[in-house]
Structure 1
Amino acid sequence: MSMQRKHTWPSLLTANGKGIAFGGDYNPDQWPEEVWDEDIRLMKQAKVNVVALGIFSWDRIQPAEGEWDFAWLDRIINKLGDAGISVDLASATASAPIWLYNKYPEVLPQDKYGHVINAGSRQSWRPTSPVFKRFALALCKALAERYADNPTVTAWHIGNEYGWNNREDYSDDALREFRLWCARKYGSIDALNKAWGSSFWSQEVHSFDDVLLPRHMGPDSMVNPSQQLDFERFGNDMLLEFYKAERDVIAEISPDKPCTTNFMISTDQCAMDYAQWGREVDFVSNDHYFHEGESHLDELACSDSLVSSIAERNPWYLMEHSTSAVQWKPLNARKRHGELLRDSLAHVAMGADAINFFQWRQSAFGAEAFHSAMLPHAGEHSKLFERVCELGEALDMLSSAGVPGSTLVSSGTAILFSAQSEWATRCQTLPSNKLNHWHDVRDWYRAFLDAGSRADVVPLSAHWEGYSTVVLPTMLVLSNEDAYRLKTFAAAGGTVIVGYASGLVDEQFHVGLGGYPGAGDGVLRDMLGIRGEEFNILGDEAQGETREISLSNGMVTRLWQNDIDVVPDADVLATYEGEGAEEWELQGVPAITSHAYGDGKAIFVGCDLKCEDIARLISKELSEVLTNTSSSIDYATSEFEDIDAGANRSVNNAILHTVRKGENGIFDFYIVRGNSPVEVSVEAGTVLVAQHCTQADSSAQPDHQTRYALQRNGILITKRQA
């Protein structure tokens, strides 16, 4: 494991170099130069102080092999610097020019069917191609040599959204590198055969030269899951090695300017092992695009929580999000009044010290012409641009108040996330192909909010032993090492909540024997005080069969039930009951259990539950063990109506409350989660932002309390002394 790089934050061109970074991707090469001065005038009007420049500009910088043109880039960088706008300069390697693809077609990746991924989109290159790497690193070197000492360039933006179009490559270059990767990982061919269980289906190989990629094997074929999981790791590692190669070329020439690359952490975009990538950047950056529907804000906070954990609670950089609708989803919903400001400030509430968009000026052509931008097609005299300016004012106010550099205060509960479990749940050889680790993490995160608490999302590979409770939602893959970490954590007084379909296989995708969950050679089973024999899987595909099973506590399960036995000293919190349970021979079988272990406790949730049922579980059955896990500091200043966890979330009077603490003070963020008004009492302090928020009658409040009424999309930010 590589060492964590020192956190280094890029400076702005402000008087003290500090402030919340505000801006977005800027593509001046899409526009005639007479537009540039107008762009900068409007940027200053909106209080933009940084742009990401040159992300897709390779062709303009290098119009032909051996030919360079930096003059246009010099001119725009100088204009921006003169206006006090700093530049996060890209390595421009995300998409190569057409001349390179035409002359060197061997750089193009291939899909599992052997089809070439043709040029014309983004990232149509193999991370394992020595030809592509040679050209890419030459570009990095040329940029670094020219701009290392340019004061306007304050950070380096390496690549862009690695893996967006080349996460999996099945080319001959990839095959060559996969064989070398396997040799480094396993050392001997016997170790590889053992890890992959190659004796099944006569798949044993006798040298690393015999190793194959998991290419297409037929319409109904099933890939060896151990091999597939290693291929996922390999693809992640190859892209990470490519990023590091770019970074190192630039950092050697320009060592004083921090390097980053933008992750893609959101509900359906978590392709990489970003906990691993986080150790290789100087500051963590993320692109987040909202999930339409009523989960909008909760999903944002859940994704940001993972980003904050990867950043080790240091401030992080929102490199991209959208001012309104995008153009690449099945449903491209726009943002309503108040949502642009609310979403942006919610990212700040979750630890971001940079709020940036794709992009500054909305494109007039190309694949993203209908992707919203800071300056829309309608121009400066538009509601959208007015809201961008409103956001600039708010961020400027927060900067003056001292928010930048403050850190997000942790909760007492860690919901654990593992990229490897996310990859594994996509395997087509599992008892159900409807598992989704990341979605279950999101549901548990939302459930804690519905229960009036807040949890953090933390990588499994991180240090989570400082929390009082950890949750493992659909953590399919657990190594022996991680199983023993959980055992030690519980024995020392922690509470471990293990979800269904957790700990079924180890890191080599081998099933632990002796009953489920078998992780750690039965360590997880011993800690939980249970033993599972079989899974019961429900679904609409079985016509005429029961599609749900009730629990004795009124909850309902619809996908996966574990048929378990419990040890005598385990407490049964709920059993399967009713007609569905009778039909599937689960009547009276424990569904949710609790088992004292050492000085702590291990809880098993043996079936899938809807979000509202998880919230009820947290607030009722688990309330005693979770009493002190909502926050690591005392900020009990909010009054919430009692939340009925079974109620429709759209009418819950619920607040997302986070705290950032720094040398300049304590900053409280209160954000309405639902559509209905909510009143909140807060400690007296300086009000920094009050959007869709009015001060209510405070005459009956305790001393030093003020009551506010927050409407839909309302956000209240206050400052108090540390």
Structure 2
Amino acid sequence: MTSRRPFKWPALLTESGRGIAFGGDYNPDQWPDDVVADDIRLMKQAHVNTVALAIFSWDRIEPIEGAFTFDWLDGVIDQLGRAGIAVDLSSATAAAPMWLYESHPEVLPVDRYGHVVNPGSRQSWRPTSPVFRQYALRLCRELAEHYRDNPTVTAWHVGNEYGWNNRYDYSDDALREFRRWCERRYGTIDALNAAWGTAFWSQHVNGFDEVLLPRHMGGDSMVNPAQQLDFERFGNDMLLDFYKAERDAITSICPDKPCTTNFMVSTDQCCMDYAQWADEVDFVSNDHYFHEGESHLDELACSDALMASLAHGDPWYVMEHSTSAVQWKPWNARKRHGELMRDSLAHVALGADAINFFQWRQSTSGAEAFHSAMLPHAGEDSKLYRGVTELGEALETLSDAGVQGTCLRRADTAILFDATCEWATRCETLPSMRLSHWHDVRDWYRAFLDAGARADVIPLAYDWSGYGYRTIVLPTLIALSDADVRRIADFARSGGRVVVGYATGLIDERFHVGLGGYPGAGNGLLRELLGIRSEEFNILGSDDGSGDGTSEGEPAAITLSNGMTTRLWQNDVTSTAQDTTVLAAYAGAAAAEWELDGTPAVTRHPYGDGEGIYIGCDLDRHDLARLLGERGFGAASGATVDAAAANPRVIHTIRESEDGAVRFDFYLNRAKEALQVPGIEGEPIIAHRCAALEAPESSGTVAYTLDRNAILVTRTVSRG
């Protein structure tokens, strides 16, 4: 693992410099100058204490090449500072001015078909362009020099959502840098040929100058999967390198002000290897937009669980989320009553000490005019603005109560996530194109909630074995190196429980398939841990490409002997170790049709002082939750933090002071209907859409009713 930058949190302009940060992106350059005073009045009324400024303002800062104008920005920052509102100042490089593209069209990205990506949106530039880098770093240095001593600017917002529009670039600049990247990674051309398996389809290269990008090859031609996986890594590394160049240009001038960049972690987008990126920021921040539908809160909690791990136990920053609907999805659902507060405090419940939105004032023109904001088109006399003000008051209450700086208590279980595995499951040469590692992480996370437990989500690359977890779950971790497998086996040998999913460990980090049977990762060590060996995959699905799980004359699903159902992928386990216990097998007519009747589907195998549990087929989250209950997870196992959290319709987290003297319990209702939660301890700090049913019992606990979208926060101070 690489070394991390020391944690530095941006100060507020409060007397102590502390408090939960609250605000959002502020774009005064979209408005007449006289609007700023009214904005600040309304910000103060809403308890806003920080804004992210100048994210897309390059053309206003440098309207003509080399002519920098800071007067307008100075005036805005001065007014904000006098109002006690801190500024997270952007490097402003996310969207370049049109004059730069006109002067230097060679900075524009190229898609896999050879088409130039035209300007007019965000990030219409190549991360590998030396010309663009020269202009961007000059802007960074000019900003840093100008604001290095400005007390209102307390942090730097470097770039914005790296990779949103230029994650994949197939330009000649990218080709040049990809060849250099490959040479650094492999050292010799023989090592690259071995890693990419170039003996297949006559792809041998004689030197790094023959290495190509995986551009469009015509028709439905399949890309070499090892080459494609390295191109994914390269794109991540090039953008990370660009971020570090911007950061270093700023910190060489402003070393005392912390830097961050906003990640994009939700279970519908996680395009970078943020386990690497987290080491390069002074504090971790994220943009999260809710997933509409019944998974809304669960998806938020799953994404936040990964963010909490990326922060290594330190507080993290919500840089953007939405007050209500966005405008960039096919279905732009608004938030229901209570969800603005509930979602925001849910982030706090998972370790966030900053709650910010895109954006402060809703735009009247441009691509995001219908994206909700803190101050909507309807103005201050609106439900949204009143909700924002209510949220600001709640965050001040939590700040005064001492929540800021407390640590999220870890769960007993870690679900492992890996960016390489997510990239690999997108490959079009796998047995099924319907795999998704990140979605499987989400389904397992929700299954633990359904079982009355909570799991953490942690990168595979981290030292999860040293965090005291009793169980690790490997959902579709398709690519595992030999070193990864040894760590996993050592965890089980030392007493841990390892739960391995159906598409885990099929290839190594080079996209090479292990031999001797499945899962082949680790030269058979993963099979040894699990006590099983599979020979083939049985894939269900349509033959017309619809992906609806049906095919004329073929079974659409297979039942297990315990009543569970698999609909996509079944491993044909042909042998088991003598001490392997079969917990469920394929059974019934559909299983017989596919010659799987009686074949092991779910197994348990002792290994050292621990055990390996193998889930040899896909199961939906309800079946996973049932399996977890049967295997001793959830309320019956004591895996939850206390009895009050055992209700599977409640998400319960704990944040506590470093010495353990002060603890904050957060309870969130997952259900659509009201529910009663008994046994709640502590002084109520926030009771949003909930109420105590009775006076405290002799035990000191209270039962509460939690309405839909409720959140309850209590504080307990240890005596003595």
TM range (shorter): over 0.9
2: CA distance, partners of 1:393 / 1:486: 46
Give the letter for the 1:471 counterpart. Answer: V
Q: Contact between 1:411 and 1:629, CA under 8 Å: does it hold in 2?
A: no
The 5-angstrom pairing of residues 119-130 of structure 1 reads: 119-130=119-130
User: How far did residue 629 of structure 1 move?
Assistant: 7.0
Q: SS state of the match for residue 500, structure 2? A: strand
Structure 1 residue 566, shift from structure 2 partner? 1.1
Q: 2:689: which partner in 1?
A: 692
Shift of 1:684: 3.6
Q: Which amino acid aligns with 1:567?
A: A
Residues 455, 630 of structure 1: 8 Å contact kept: no
CA distance in structure 2 between the aligned counterparts of 1:228 and 1:186, rounded to whole angstroms: 15
SS in 1 for 2:38: helix
Q: 1:329 Cα deviation (Å)?
A: 0.4
1:671 maps to a residue whose letter is L
Aligned with 2:713: secondary structure? strand
Structure 2 residue identity aligned to 1:276:
Q
Query: In 1, Cα distance between the equivalents of 2:685 and 2:634?
Result: 36
Partners of 1:266 and 1:177 lie apart in 2 by 30
1:637 is displaced (CA, Å) by: 4.4
Partner of 1:649: none
Whether 1:615 aligns to 2:625 is: yes
The answer as to 2:17 corresponding to 1:21 is: no
Cα deviation for residue 219 of structure 1 reads 1.7
Asked whether 1:318 is paired with 2:332, we answer no
1:253-332 alignment runs, 5 A limit: 253-332=253-332
Is 1:545 aligned to 2:554, yes or no?
Answer: yes
Q: Which residue of 2 aligns with 1:560?
A: 569
The answer on 1:630 being equivalent to 2:625 is: no
Note if contact 1:109-1:116 (Cα within 8 Å) is conserved in structure 2. yes
In 2 relative to 1, CA 595–552 (structure 1 residues): closer, same or farther, beyond 3 Å?
A: same
Equivalence for 1:501: 503
Deviations 1:484-516 (A, max 9, x none): 000100000000000011000000000000000
Matches within 5 A, 1:654-693: 654-662=649-657, 665-693=662-690
Say which SS state the counterpart of residue 638 (structure 1) adopts.
Answer: helix
Sequence identity, in percent?
A: 66
Aligned ranges 1:179-578 → 2 under 5 Å: 179-465=179-465, 466-541=468-543, 542-564=551-573, 565-578=575-588
Greater alpha carbon shift after TM alignment, 119-128 vs 701-710: 701-710
**Is residue 2:585 matched to residue 1:583?**
no
Alignment correspondent of 1:647: none
* Distance (whole Å) between structure 1 residues aligned to residue 459 and residue 97 of structure 2: 37
Report deviation, 1:694.
Answer: 1.3
Letter in 1 for 2:319: M
Aligned to 1:648: none
Change beyond 3 A, Cα 1:660–1:241: same
Query: Separation in 1 of the partners of 2:411 and 2:118?
Result: 47
How many Å apart are 1:639 and its aligned residue?
A: 6.2
| Cα distance between partner residues in 2 of 1:300 and 1:546 | 35
Shift of 1:673: 0.4
Structure 1 residues 595, 698: CA separation in 2 closer, same or farther (over 3 Å shift)? farther
1:715 to 687, 699, 711: 711
Residue by residue, what CA displacement relative to the aligned partner does 1:37-91 show, whole Å, maximum 9, x if unpaired?
0000000000000000000000000001111110000000000000000000000
Aligned CA distance change for structure 1 residues 603 and 625 (closer, same or farther; 3 Å): farther
Q: Distance in 2 between matches of 1:74 and 1:187?
A: 50
Amino acid at match of 2:598: G
* SS, match of residue 244 in structure 1: helix
Verify the 8 A CA contact 2:322 2:372 in the aligned structure 1: yes
Cα drift, residue 17 of structure 1: 0.2
Point out 4+ residue stretches in structure 1 off by more than 3 angstroms.
Answer: 624-629
CA distance in 2: counterparts of 1:104 and 1:626, whole angstroms: 62
Cα distance in 2, alignment partners of residues 186 and 436 from structure 1: 28
What displacement does 1:678 show? Answer: 1.3
Q: Secondary structure at the match of 1:596?
A: strand
1:329-355 superposed Cα distances (whole Å, 9 cap, x missing partner): 010000011000000000000000000
Question: Taking structure 1 as the reference length, what is the TM-score of the superposition?
Answer: 0.97
Hey, what does 2:605 align to over in structure 1? 595
Bigger Cα displacement from structure 2, 262-271 vs 679-688: 679-688
Residues 232-271 of structure 1: CA deviation (Å, up to 9, x unaligned): 0000000000000000010010000000000000011100
What are the Cα deviations for residues 119-170 of structure 1, in whole angstroms up to 9, with x where unaligned? 0000000000000000000000000000011000000000000000000100
Structure 1 distance, partners of 2:380, 2:533, is 64
Rounded Cα–Cα distance in structure 2 between residues aligned with 1:690 and 1:193: 61
What code does the residue aligned with 2:577 have?
V
Paired residues of 2:452 and 2:645 also in contact (CA < 8 A): no
Give yes or no for contact 1:469–1:626 (8 Å, CA) kept in 2.
no
Alignment of 1:170-185 (within 5 A): 170-185=170-185
Unaligned 5+ runs, structure 2: 544-550
Q: CA deviation at 1:640?
A: 4.8
Deviations 1:339-375 (Å, cap 9, x if unpaired)?
A: 0000000000000000000000000000000000000
Cα deviation, residue 611, structure 1:
0.6
Matched, 1:113 2:113: yes
Shift of 1:626: 9.7
Partner of 1:650: none
In the TM superposition, what is the alpha-carbon distance from 1:697 to its structure 2 partner? Answer: 3.1
Does the 8 Å CA contact 2:452/2:634 hold for their aligned counterparts?
Answer: no
Structure 1: state its 5+ residue gaps.
644-653
Q: CA RMSD in A?
A: 1.2
Q: Which region of structure 1 is more displaced relative to structure 2, 657-666 or 443-452? A: 657-666
Q: Deviations over 1:93-143 (max 9, x none)?
A: 001000000110000000000000000000000000000000000000000
CA distance in 2, matches of 1:253, 1:626: 53
Q: How many matched pairs? A: 706
State which of 616, 624, 643 in structure 2 corresponds to 1:606.
616
Report how far residue 627 of structure 1 moved: 6.2
The answer to whether the 8 Å contact 2:691/2:706 transfers is yes
Shift of 1:2: 3.0
What is the distance in 1 between the residues matched to 2:44 and 2:175?
A: 50
How far apart in 2 are the matches of 1:618 and 1:67? 63
Task: Say whether the 8 Å CA contact 1:640–1:680 is kept in structure 2.
Answer: no
Measure the CA separation in 1 of the matches of 2:635 and 2:280. Answer: 35
- How far the C-alpha of 1:327 sits from its partner, in A, is 0.2
2:547 maps to none
Taking a change above 3 Å as real, the CA distance of residues 625 and 522 of structure 1, as seen in their structure-2 partners, is: farther
Whether the 8 Å CA contact 2:453–2:633 is kept in 1: the answer is no
C-alpha separation between the residues in 2 aligned to 1:55 and 1:120?
16
Q: Distance in 2 between matches of 1:32 and 1:6?
A: 40
Distance 1:544 1:73 in 2: 68
AA of the residue aligned to 1:596? P
2-structure distance, mates of 1:640, 1:239:
43
